[in-house]
Amino acid sequence: MQLAARCSPVDRSETDLAVAVISEVNQNIYSQLKLSLSLHLRRQVFLAVCDDLALRNHLATRLQSELAYPTQSRNGQRQERSPACPRLVTLKLNLRNPNPMAQIAHWLTHHLPPAGDSALPTIGFQILGIEQLTRQPAPVQRRFLSHLQEIEFYLPSLESSLLLWLSRPWLRSVQQSAPAFWEWHTALFEFEGDPTPILASSSIQTQPDRDANDANRQPAQPMVVGQATPPPAPSTAESEATLLDILNHDLAQLDHNHQPVALEANSKVVEADTETRDTTASSSPAAVALSSAPSTPAPPPANTPPTSPLTQTGSALDLTDLVLAAAAQDPVCDKHAAAMQLLQRIEQLQEQQAPAAALAAAYHGLGNLYRDRIEQGYTDGQTLTIAIRAYEQTLEWLDGSSSLWADVLNDLGNLYWMLSRGAMNQAQTLTYLQQAVTTYQLALTRTNPQTRLQTYLMIQNNLGSAYGDLARLEQTADHLQQAIVAYEEVLRHRTLSEDPARYAATQNNLGTAYWNLAQQQQPVKHLQQAIAAYQEALQYYSSDRDPLHYAMIQNNLGTAYWNLAQHIKPSANGAESNSELSPVGLLRQAIAAYQTALTYRTLKASAAAHAATQNNLGTAYWHLAIAPDTSSDNRQEFLKRATTAYKIALNTAQQLVASGNPAVLTFDPCSTQNNLGLAYYQLALNRESGWDATKRSQYLELALDHHLQALQGWTKQPNFYQTALGYVIQTMRTFYSEFGLQGQTLAMSRIPAPLLPEVMQRL
């Protein structure tokens, strides 16, 4: 039975914040927590929630002092417990390897008395420092939640009690992203206290991944793209665009400003900095039955851009204080000196009761000064916030009829969008994106498309991009529809002949928005619209003008064709089996698009993109092989081509890992290993091929080997691991059914020794 001790907020004076004094309500909660720990029961998981770090530290210290070495009675005499065996141990979470259970095991290994001590007591552990994960990269946060999710594997050997100190945001993360751990917790103790700002422990801050439940997804069989947004396109290596474009032009024009060619996995569909978007194979497959037919996997978590903005408290921080703080941190920067002069000028203007226009111009100049700094690459949160505050002050003094309103509001929207890219958590990202959307919408009300058409189109396009980002966080279908409305409004005025580059960029973003909406509703209709938009984009992009972007859109087009093939049935539309509208016809078009993309997405030009498209090509061939109308000979040929493409994808991935660049991959190599094993498995069972027993046995051996490689790669992801293990068992049973005891012996000889007991149990 789970217990929860809660307290309501109470009024506190400043003196109440002293750690030596806690409120009566908190004291009662503390007493309950202390009593629970003092029972020294095994396998108890307690959660204590306290946002006031000073109070938290005080309470943790009291627990340590009162429970670690309590007095006890023995033979009628009070004795202090030996320091060699504390009853409560305080550990600070290891941020490099955030696994509380591993830390406990390490402590027990190095600090327990000799095993012969029969009086060894139950030891409790309290874990501090979890709030510091907020400042860690998203993969570190996911590892922590994944370790918690695996609590049921640790509990049988946990001879201790466990207390985790959490902030309320992290409590919500645990509830949502580690539900198994939440179900196992024994009691919850919630202390009242005001949140304490967390000091940065690293110069790099990233927001948590939007889908931290990696451990809840199941591995799947071959697929091109799952039920989520595809990653964006890589940029061209020749691009010389700078951050100036973010402020002066459409955000959708900037794919090449932020991401080098290889970084195809850093974001998803219609992000505000991409001119064109790329759909690739997903890395985390979805749950499937243990059969030979693959299903569509879910996509990989997106990697958050490694920006590091400083948290600001909005209006609570005066613009002057922000500039002074920035100048103190970087005293040699001439921008700060110029900013100080402008602030002095603004103060003089206010003392002189100067006209509002003069103050608006001064604040606008201050904003532009920091905008220049942003253009030079200083996109930290402090610089962005100063620019935002300056522009907000500009609007405070700006005349309502001024033409600057639209420009300043667009700049503000762009700056809020840039802040969202480096937010420390999802809630902050959501807030900044909502502010960006609101600001763009206000800018549109201040823009007359009859007189300032290009400004109007720029803001509409930026609004569409911001809605696309919002769709990743909430109300996915609604926000995608809003993005589509914005893009289509742009395309009502922006033509191929007048503005070909921006026309193609917007068409590509529109196509990707439709692709994502198809994952939510009306897949056939929206995928057809995505295909039409991608084809329009290809009217501008060519292999001569921009081969990598051309290849990227061909890859997007192939993925849309593949996705549509999963929803079209020949009997539903009356199409012939090999027509362009049939599943087979669509798969052939997908393969043609992928092959065109690979002409330019070479290993040398972009290894990660090359691997992703090869992975997609393998999956398209796999689906073509299993199509009902595919002949036996063609099925055999298509399966061979699938294995070839998968092997190229894996070899390229191995080269990237060896070169120290595994993060650029946009698909999970373990999933590809599993898919390759399935392709070999089906080759072995293709009885119409005429292969002899030796050939079929070789294919089964290859299938088993690749399933085992997938299994070894998923050892830290229990759900994935179990699915891969199922395929291993399936292949071993096929060995026995096809070749008897000799086949079973051969299969057993390929199983690693540590895995044999588990395999034998399943068999």
Condensed to tens digits (0 to 9), the pLDDT of residues 729-744 reads: 999 999 899 889 988 8
- How many domains does the chain contain in total? 1
What distance in Å separates the CA atoms of residue 741 and residue 262, rounded to the nearest whole number?
49
Task: Give the pLDDT score at 268.
Answer: 27
What would the mean pLDDT of 459-487 be, rounded to a whole number? 95
**What's the 3-state SS for 3-28?**
EEECCCCCCCCHHHHCCCCCCHHHHH
Average pLDDT, the chain: 77
Q: Which residues pair with 674 in a beta bridge?
A: none
Task: Give the pLDDT score at 570.
Answer: 62
What distance in Å separates the CA atoms of residue 104 and residue 91, rounded to the nearest whole number?
8
pLDDT at 258 over 60: no
pLDDT at 76 over 70: no
What would the mean pLDDT of 304-330 be, rounded to a whole number? 55
- Sequence letter at residue 633: D
Is 24 part of any domain? yes
Q: The CATH number of the domain where 173 resides is what? A: 3.40.50
Is 181 part of any domain? yes
Is 51 part of any domain? yes
pLDDT at 211 over 70: no
Task: Give the pLDDT score at 433.
Answer: 95
> Which ranges in 494-579 belong to alpha helices (H)?
500-518, 523-537, 547-565, 570-573
pLDDT at 662 over 60: yes
Q: Can you read off the two tokens belonging to residue 628? A: 């009902």
244 backbone dihedrals φ, ψ, rounded to 5°: -55, -35
Task: Give the pLDDT score at 661.
Answer: 78
What distance in Å separates the CA atoms of residue 44 and residue 682, rounded to the nearest whole number?
48
Is 79 part of any domain? yes
Residue among 204, 205, 211, 128 at smallest CA distance from 176: 211
Q: Which of 192-196, 408-412, 428-432 has the lowest mean pLDDT?
A: 192-196
DSSP-assigned letter for residue 521? S
What would the mean pLDDT of 331-345 be, rounded to a whole number? 80
Residue 330: pLDDT band (50, 70, 90) is confident
> Residue 19 is part of which domain span?
3-190
Residue 351: pLDDT band (50, 70, 90) is confident
What distance in Å separates the CA atoms of residue 560 and residue 511, rounded to the nearest whole number?
9
Is 168 part of any domain? yes
Residue 332: pLDDT band (50, 70, 90) is low
| Higher pLDDT, residue 337 or 495 | 495
pLDDT at 588 over 70: yes
Cβ(471)–Cβ(480) under 8 Å?
yes
Residue 323: pLDDT band (50, 70, 90) is confident
Is 63 part of any domain? yes
Residue 639: pLDDT band (50, 70, 90) is very high
Residue 303: pLDDT band (50, 70, 90) is very low
Q: In sequence order, what are the residues at sequence separation of 6 or more whose Cβ sits closer than 8 angstroms to the Cβ of residue 753?
A: none
Is 648 part of any domain? no
Percent pLDDT > 70 in the chain is: 76
What distance in Å separates the CA atoms of residue 368 and residue 376, rounded to the nearest whole number?
13
- Sequence letter at residue 237: A
Q: Which of 123-137, 402-416, 485-499 has the lowest mean pLDDT?
A: 123-137
The whole-model pTM stands at: 0.60
Residue among 148, 154, 196, 202 at smallest CA distance from 176: 148
DSSP-assigned letter for residue 235? P
Residue 213: pLDDT band (50, 70, 90) is very low
* 198, 202, 203, 209 alpha-carbon torsion, rounded to 10°: -80
pLDDT at 267 over 70: no
DSSP-based helix, strand, coil % in the chain, nearest 5: 60, 5, 35
Task: Give the pLDDT score at 121.
Answer: 73
What would the mean pLDDT of 454-475 be, rounded to a whole number? 94
| CA-based radius of gyration for the chain | 30
24-53 residue pLDDT tens:
888 889 988 988 888 878 888 999 999 888
Tell me how far apart the terminal alpha carbons of the chain are, to the nearest angstrom: 37
| Higher pLDDT, residue 77 or 285 | 77
Task: Give the pLDDT score at 666.
Answer: 87
Handedness of CA 637, 221, 553, 607 (dihedral sign): negative
Q: In terms of C-beta density within 10 A (0-12 exposed, 13-18 middle, 19 or more buried), how is residue 80 classed?
A: exposed
What would the mean pLDDT of 596-614 be, rounded to a whole number? 95
What distance in Å separates the CA atoms of residue 103 and residue 91, rounded to the nearest whole number?
8
| Higher pLDDT, residue 74 or 547 | 547
Largest CA distance in the chain: 99
Percent pLDDT > 90 in the chain is: 41
Q: Which residue has the tokens 């992290």?
A: 170
Task: Give the pLDDT score at 114.
Answer: 58
What would the mean pLDDT of 3-21 be, rounded to a whole number? 38
What distance in Å separates the CA atoms of residue 610 and residue 13, rounded to the nearest whole number?
62
Is 143 part of any domain? yes
| Higher pLDDT, residue 82 or 626 | 626
pLDDT at 289 over 70: no
Residue 93: pLDDT band (50, 70, 90) is very high
What would the mean pLDDT of 330-340 be, rounded to a whole number? 77
Q: Which residue has the tokens 């109300």?
A: 475
- Sequence letter at residue 737: S
pLDDT at 693 over 50: yes
Buried b (16+ CB within 10 A) or exposed e, 662-698: eebbbbbbbbbbbbbbbbbbbbbebeebebeeeebbe
- Sequence letter at residue 444: L
Residue 619, Ramachandran bin (φ over 0: left; ψ between -120 and 50: alpha; else beta): alpha
Task: Give the pLDDT score at 120.
Answer: 62
Q: Which of 218-222, 412-416, 430-434, 681-685 has the lowest mean pLDDT?
A: 218-222
Cβ(283)–Cβ(666) under 8 Å?
yes
Residue 235: pLDDT band (50, 70, 90) is very low
Distances (CA, A) of 453 to 243, 457, 501: 23, 6, 17
Q: Can you read off the two tokens belonging to residue 371? A: 């905008």
